[in-house]
Structure 1
Amino acid sequence: MKAYDIVIAGGAMAGATAALALDTLSGGRLRIAVVEAMVPNHGDHPGYDARSIALAEGSCAAFEQLGLWEALAPFGTPIQHIHVSDRGHAGQAHIDAQTQGVSYLGQVIELADAGAVLHQKLHARPAIDVFCPDAVIAIERKLDAVTVTLKQGQSLTASLLIAADGGRSPCSRLLHLPRQQHDFGQVAVIANVSTALPHQGHAFERFTDTGPVALLPMSQGRCSLVWCMTPDEAQPLTQVSDSVFLQRLQQVFGWRLGKLLHVGERHAYPLVLNQVVRPVSHRVAVVGNAAQSLHPIAGQGFNLGLRDVITLAQTVSAAFQRGQDIGAIPVLMDYASQRQPDRDTTVALTSGLVHLFSNQSALLAAARNAGLGLMSTIERVKQPLVQRTIGWVEPK
């Protein structure tokens, strides 16, 4: 049996970042094991698949403070402008980096590229051991330690287990942690699209009768598409020809980027709010999508998860430096209480936006378009959304 201070189940974005943050903030004095089921080969890893993520400016700054952004930056495409509109209505809002006094609002990065960078960093840290490919198949908690059994046969013991093993979170199931779910009744169709006009750093969020359509700027002149719709509408769209798919997308999105020219491989993901009731338990903390999987509207999911990871790393590292038991409930409750307001607000914001813009009530349509109109003319009305979009939320 190998002994560590911390075992992290899951080595995708949240798990890898947690390990690197803990290692950095503790000065390499914490012994950390990362258990990951799949090697992050480009496009094959479910946590690093064909999708891209929009890292808010605040998230990029957090990576920079950890000494990680320099390696990630070459793979990022800056978002300079965000355009929000409601199809069939006049209301719209704009968020501009220059107006907000930042060099960019965020950066779009392909998960596969981020995965390659972070795993290279993990293997370069002497205090981090990576068990990959492997998986946690059993968990035993005692008063002073937690022991995990791995699929390959090894047992690891630690003071703290961090579950960063994705939205389905096998660790949460093994521990019987209560979860709450809300099915949005939507599916996200994900693909990369090329356009006749250059995106020039513009990101678009367009609300339609069936759900939001987002196009985010990417490298090589491409855009990352997230198109939300009902399952009945999504199923045929994953099977039609590229030309038919682009024609239907053009009708919904419009011509702001000219003619839509090409579409890459399409993937469909059901959209469900899935969150643990409590993100901490005896010698266990749950982070990232394992803690909460959000609707992709407004691009808040990973940015919220990153703030969880940073706060957990800060709290645990500080407790370690004080000589405290890093897996004890008082330390974990300190972390959870710091994160609760941001978590509740972000979940409420994303869920509220989904229901507001998916409802075709004439009264609600008038209200939301009046709201978008106010955002376009009165800066203080727009600021709460701007703060979340840029990620200027204290990670504690």
Structure 2
Amino acid sequence: MKFDVVICGAAMSGATLALALARVAGKKVAIIDPHPPSNERSGFDARSIALSYGTIQKLKQFQLWEGLQPQASSILSIHVSDRGHYAQTGFDAKEMGQAYLGAVVELEKAGQVYFQQLHSEPNITLYCPDSLESVVQFDELVEIKLSGGETLHAELLVGADGTGSKVAEQVQVSNKVQQLRQYALIANIELANPHKGVAYERFTSNGPLALLPMTEQRMSLVWCLSHEQLQQAQSWDDDTFLNKLQQEFGWRLGKFIKVGSRSNYPLALYTRERLTHHRVAFVGNAAQTLHPIAGQGFNLGIRDVAALTHAVAECDDAGSYECLKMYRNSRVQDRDATIAMTTGLVRLFSNNWYPTVVARNLGLLAFDAIPPLQGCVTNRSLGLIKN
């Protein structure tokens, strides 16, 4: 089977790329993934992801937002604060002349929407469930063998298969890993009062804490903790957990009344040593996996997708050196700046040394007083970055 592009990974980055290449670039695409989406209705514990304003605009260009919008929760304002200190700042959609700043979507629902569109798109062939077995790179094509026995040929192979990318393993492109000595504790929280579309980033003595608005008066919690703090939190029953969280966050959202199942994962910065190889490219978490602070990771990945789609649309051969060079060069500045911002925030707000505390609170106060600083930070936070 011969394709213009074969994509390994059908989660949101890979699926977005497949649909964008088919619709915008007119390419014949295959997409491989071992896990079909669940057809079950999402429950209380549904996991979610935040889409920036800029990401939503790109999804509109790829004719994808219409399917996601009905189940999305709009982010109308973002509030940023440092626990125990006066300084705080944020963004408000009305003040910026926008209808929203972003949105939160549940991953299971989004996966169902995407798979319906992948199945109905005539330029896309879906190999699911199936997985990558081996890769051989030739001068003018790449050969991909699947576990199910199929052999595919393509001008370009794209790794959109996450941090532990099988594509990267096959072509021997390693990750640089920087351990961040924190864990992300994930759970959904139910509120007694409506959240009114407000997202919160709260910096506490235990680490950054984010609450994102979901449907049905729920908030998606990401709480960054040290290993010792995580072990302690895992011992708490639901009532103790809600009380501890309330103490750390405060009462801006009113009373927390329910917590769902809790999970966690270690945090590290993974940076793929190369974004491209011979007839191979990486996007999303396969290219870089960031700390969840400021919610930049997925949105950076969608900018990867948009840049690669543009490059492929401009070139007759999707895997040519010129095409991959165009993609690689377009991503350097945005990628480096976003990684620097997120790792800088982690260091700044996970440090309780008094001069650092003073400096970061002065920074929060300065943000509201210095328009040029607002513009730079706001554009990156909202994903308004030119590729």
TM-score between both structures, scaled by the size of structure 2:
0.97
1:129 is matched with 125
Matched, 1:250 2:242: no
Matched, 1:117 2:116: no
Q: For 1:147-186, list aligned pairs within 5 A.
A: 147-186=143-182
Letter in 2 for 1:63: L
Q: Residues 55 and 107 of structure 1 are in contact (CA less than 8 Å); yes or no, is this contact kept in structure 2? A: yes
Letter in 2 for 1:237: A
Letter in 2 for 1:8: I
Partner Cα separation in structure 2 for residue 198 and residue 297 of structure 1: 24
Partner Cα separation in structure 1 for residue 306 and residue 143 of structure 2: 24
1:44, distance to aligned residue in structure 2 (A): 11
1:43, distance to aligned residue in structure 2 (A): 8.1
Matched, 1:358 2:357: no
Letter in 1 for 2:29: I
1:369 is matched with 361
1:393 is matched with 385
Q: Residues 274 and 293 of structure 1 are in contact (CA less than 8 Å); yes or no, is this contact kept in structure 2? A: yes
1:42, distance to aligned residue in structure 2 (A): 5.8
1:381 is matched with 373
Partner Cα separation in structure 2 for residue 90 and residue 42 of structure 1: 47
1:101 is matched with 97
The one of 219, 224, 229 aligned to 2:220: 224
Letter in 1 for 2:32: V
1:377, distance to aligned residue in structure 2 (A): 3.2
Q: Residues 92 and 376 of structure 1 are in contact (CA less than 8 Å); yes or no, is this contact kept in structure 2? A: no
Classify 1:346/1:235 alpha carbon distance in 2 versus 1 (closer, same or farther; 3 Å).
same
The one of 249, 263, 268 aligned to 1:267: 263
Letter in 2 for 1:135: S
Q: Residues 43 and 50 of structure 1 are in contact (CA less than 8 Å); yes or no, is this contact kept in structure 2? A: no
Deviations 1:45-92 (A, max 9, x none): 9xxx94211101111111111111111101111111111001111111
2:35 is matched with 38
2:207 is matched with 211
Matched, 1:90 2:90: no
Deviations 1:128-179 (A, max 9, x none): 1100111102111111111111111111111100000011111111211032
Q: Which runs of 5+ in 1 are unaligned?
A: none
Partner Cα separation in structure 1 for residue 384 and residue 260 of structure 2: 33
Partner Cα separation in structure 2 for residue 292 and residue 169 of structure 1: 11
Matched, 1:144 2:140: yes
Matched, 1:314 2:310: yes
2:282 is matched with 286
The one of 295, 298, 306 aligned to 1:299: 295
DSSP-derived class of the 2:148 partner: coil
2:23 is matched with 24
1:237 is matched with 233
Deviations 1:175-197 (A, max 9, x none): 11032111111111111101122
Partner Cα separation in structure 1 for residue 244 and residue 319 of structure 2: 52
Letter in 2 for 1:82: I
Partner Cα separation in structure 2 for residue 43 and residue 361 of structure 1: 48
DSSP-derived class of the 1:59 partner: helix
Partner Cα separation in structure 2 for residue 6 and residue 157 of structure 1: 9
1:378, distance to aligned residue in structure 2 (A): 3.3
Q: Residues 238 and 268 of structure 1 are in contact (CA less than 8 Å); yes or no, is this contact kept in structure 2? A: no
Letter in 2 for 1:359: N
Partner Cα separation in structure 2 for residue 355 and residue 294 of structure 1: 13
Partner Cα separation in structure 1 for residue 286 and residue 325 of structure 2: 18
DSSP-derived class of the 2:95 partner: helix
1:337 is matched with 329
Partner Cα separation in structure 1 for residue 40 and residue 198 of structure 2: 25
Classify 1:290/1:50 alpha carbon distance in 2 versus 1 (closer, same or farther; 3 Å).
farther
1:101, distance to aligned residue in structure 2 (A): 1.4
Between Structure 1 and Structure 2, how many residues are aligned? Answer: 385
Q: For 1:6-17, list aligned pairs within 5 A.
A: 6-17=5-16
Letter in 2 for 1:125: E
Q: Which runs of 5+ in 2 are unaligned?
A: none
Q: Residues 76 and 108 of structure 1 are in contact (CA less than 8 Å); yes or no, is this contact kept in structure 2? A: yes
* Stretch deviating more after TM superposition (370-379 or 152-161): 370-379
DSSP-derived class of the 1:194 partner: strand
Partner Cα separation in structure 2 for residue 342 and residue 238 of structure 1: 37
Classify 1:276/1:139 alpha carbon distance in 2 versus 1 (closer, same or farther; 3 Å).
same
TM-score between both structures, scaled by the size of structure 1:
0.94
Partner Cα separation in structure 1 for residue 106 and residue 171 of structure 2: 32
1:346 is matched with 338
Q: Residues 138 and 148 of structure 1 are in contact (CA less than 8 Å); yes or no, is this contact kept in structure 2? A: yes
Letter in 1 for 2:373: V
